[in-house]
Structure 1
């Protein structure tokens, strides 16, 4: 059968649109079918269930109306009685659909315009779906494109098969783009939105630098060298931590390259951003010392619970360790994930002396001993009278200048002092109304009871409602000032909740007894 020119033209249009928009030809044909259906409904009545089919080989358009086979007709436009259906098709059953051919449709101006709008919208939706599906899996990649326009500092980049946007705060400071410029950036997010998929680019993202090194350093691309962390102050300075999985390869040297060729290629792309390449270490102290380079570090003190580290540097290294406007220590903190406090050796010495003096005064006052004995206790690392009271006696008597008699007397005084203090706390907690049941919990001390009472925790249920971190959190835990670990705190909370389960068991037993009766 010969195919008419207008039908051939229909297929050619579908092919051309599919190629131009990089979408499936059948999606375009489906859009055309829907457009014809919409136009036919306006001609034959919107109450009719009309379908259109376009033959993808010949371009023939078939228009028909669907009729549901029913026992009793309620709607003549969409239903047909069983008797009439059997006359048309002897195999027809209730619930089947019969198709009734309709004459070819002559498109008027309004119908044609409506059809065009449907096709354009369908093609646009298909193009958006294609763009989203193509780029949603490219998050984390570097893409290249041409700057299409710049709007209020936001750069719209043509990626060839889609458009992306690089917001003003995702571009490097003092870097300007003009129409037609080539742009290389990192895809950090792809979102579905009402106006179509939005592809977001960045040149300030830390992973942009990591991906640039992967392009410039074959060992990084192959996975022999791993980039563990990146911290950036865009277009100013950055730190990157690397580790080698092959002991024969120096990770820092490989990233720097011969005469700095590899790192300079990355620096050039980032508008002269200075890059410190640091060897990563599983030991936090070593890693942090490396991260503070080029400053030298004398001593570090870690607090793993709060992820805070105190770094002591020589007096002449302080400004180098802190960096211009705090940049060096800030980047080191971002790189390692630790809060870093920097002290000079002089400041650390002054503070240590102050702590020693405060401890000595505390021991002299609380134990009623001479200053020399108090200083000896502080020098040996004792920090509280509890430690003096309950430490093994031979540890005290082993201190130079002490003997068994002095050690015994010190422990007796310490225990007496603790008993007096606990008696005061006991009176105070009772005045606040803290229940005896709370005091009976394991590992609970009188001083803890006073702190809980001041916080409004006075009954067993009050304490049972608390979570472990509400007790031990270094930031705002109720008992953060006590040497209480998470396991002990959990044990205390579960002990407080024990009566809940006992009450439930009693209720179950009572229910069973009632059922038997």
Structure 2
């Protein structure tokens, strides 16, 4: 096999892996030197010349000219009588350069060279793939569902690159079929062995940011600034936006008429509820806006400890806390303040037991509701002995509930 034939043998591979001729020739040079080191223990006596324009290469061996019958290594030395047959002007101690055809390396070495070439081309491709997607971390990608496994889904993009979407990076209500096109962001790129592994995510706040930028031109061109995005994937998200121009309504621009601009994002997130608020440097205003459309009588903010105490009427408590505590949790993340709620009550006030579901387990509340005790005062008005006779609860549990209710009402 001559040099050109060897290169042509890798032509198809080069096209598949999208490697330029120059890169391929550099790999061939490196591979040849690796083979020479394996064959001769060193490549110091060899020159490898690669010509990317012709798509050819040459191997030259530099032998030292020695006296007749003084050669100790025929691979690296040549006797004077032999070299003078080629050129009578040569002298002992000079170097004689001889071109080595690839075929002269022997069949086994040629096969070894092929293996080295294949390995180095794959290494080149892996390194290029790693660099390409390392620079895309946080960017949106689209892949087609190729395999669905128990713990992850494998996606392939148009170039055949493989993305892994782990179960924990999927929205809880995500459901995929083979062939579906799926959008996600590149979360991380790491080598697993010699191959880069590209992990993608649909649960990261950055995924929501990228979708908003895609759907809302004012975010893309910088007219509107995304200050912060927080979310509980598949349930609820809060977004704080601002604008450089005071004449622009950033919230209205993001939401659109009747939510038209944000509908596409909500659908992509499996109907995740999205609240959009305007950012404020004033922490009290920011906390109030982050909690949503809720009656708040007073907010005490401590910037040193990032703590905010919110005073709100009893009937607003459930709105402040939200389903499974989601509203107050997201408001805390968005504002950067740990938010607590102070229930403002009067002697005549009573509170539905369900309002305490952040402190009392729902099954305990249900036990009281079974016997018509639906409010805090209806429980407190009965002594513990009477309650033991009508509800299926331990005395200790009843006392704990009463202590919680007293603390809030008295």
Residues 206 and 114 of structure 1: CA distance in aligned 2, closer, same or farther (over 3 Å): same
1:29 to 25, 30, 34: 25
Matched, 1:152 2:150: yes
1:20 deviates by 1.5
What CA distance in whole angstroms lies between the structure 2 residues aligned with 1:292 and 1:22? 52
TM-score (norm 1): 0.58
Aligned counterpart, 2:183: 184
Shift in alpha-carbon separation, 1:317–1:53, aligned structure 2, 3 A? same
Give the SS at the match of 1:105.
Answer: helix
Contact 1:47 1:78 in 2 (8 A): no
Question: Residues 304 and 59 (structure 1 numbering): CA distance in 2 closer, same or farther, change over 3 Å?
Answer: closer
Distance 2:120 2:126 in 1: 10
CA deviations over 1:280-302 (Å, ceiling 9, x no partner): 11101100000001322111111
Partner Cα separation in structure 2 for residue 228 and residue 89 of structure 1: 82
Contact kept, 8 Å, 1:231 with 1:331, in 2: the verdict is yes
- Rounded to whole Å, the distance in 1 between the matches of 2:215 and 2:341 is 35
Q: Which has the higher helix share?
A: 1
2: CA distance, partners of 1:345 / 1:216? 42
Give the Å deviation of 1:171: 0.9
Inter-partner Cα distance in structure 2 for 1:47 and 1:219: 62
TM-score calculated relative to the size of structure 2: 0.72
Gaps of 5+ in 2: 347-410
Does residue 1:56 correspond to 2:55, yes or no?
Answer: no
**Number of aligned residues:** 336
Quote the Cα distance in structure 2 between the aligned partners of 1:245 and 1:15.
54
Structure-2 change in CA distance of 1:63 and 1:293 (3 Å): same
C-alpha contact (below 8 Å) 2:169/2:202 kept by paired residues: yes
Structure 1: gaps spanning 5 or more residues: 348-517
* Residue 244 of structure 1: aligned partner: 243
Distance change (3 Å), C-alpha of 1:216 and 1:47: closer
Whose radius of gyration is greater, 1 or 2? Answer: 1
Q: CA deviation at 1:152?
A: 2.6
Deviations 1:31-63 (A, max 9, x none): 334545555666x64456445445434455522
Q: Residue 69 and residue 263 in structure 1: after superposition, are their counterparts in 2 closer, same or farther (change >3 A)?
A: farther
CA distance 1:343–1:321, shift in 2 (3 Å):
same
- Are the structure 2 counterparts of residues 103 and 130 from structure 1 closer, same or farther at C-alpha, using a change threshold of 3 Å? closer
1:127 paired with 2:138, answer: no
Superposition pairs of residues 380-419 of structure 1, within 5 angstroms: none
- State the alpha-carbon separation in 2 of the partners of residues 263 and 103 from structure 1: 67
Is 1:148–1:179's contact at 8 Å kept on the other side of the alignment?
yes
> Is the 8 Å Cα contact of residues 146 and 156 (structure 2) preserved in structure 1?
yes
Match of 2:321 in 1: 322
Q: Does the C-alpha gap of structure 1 residues 133 and 314 become closer, same or farther in structure 2, counting only changes over 3 Å?
A: same
Question: Aligned partners of 2:71, 2:2: CA distance in 1, in Å?
Answer: 40
Counterpart residue number, 1:20: 16
Q: Secondary structure at the match of 2:175?
A: coil
C-alpha offsets along residues 377-424 of structure 1, whole Å, 9 cap, x if unaligned? Answer: xxxxxxxxxxxxxxxxxxxxxxxxxxxxxxxxxxxxxxxxxxxxxxxx
Alpha-carbon spacing, 1:99–1:178, altered in 2? closer, same or farther (3 Å)? farther
> How far apart are 1:23 and its partner, in Å?
1.9
State how far apart, in whole Å, the 2-side matches of 1:284 and 1:98 are.
82
Distance 1:237 1:91, change over 3 A: farther
Equivalence for 2:196 = 197
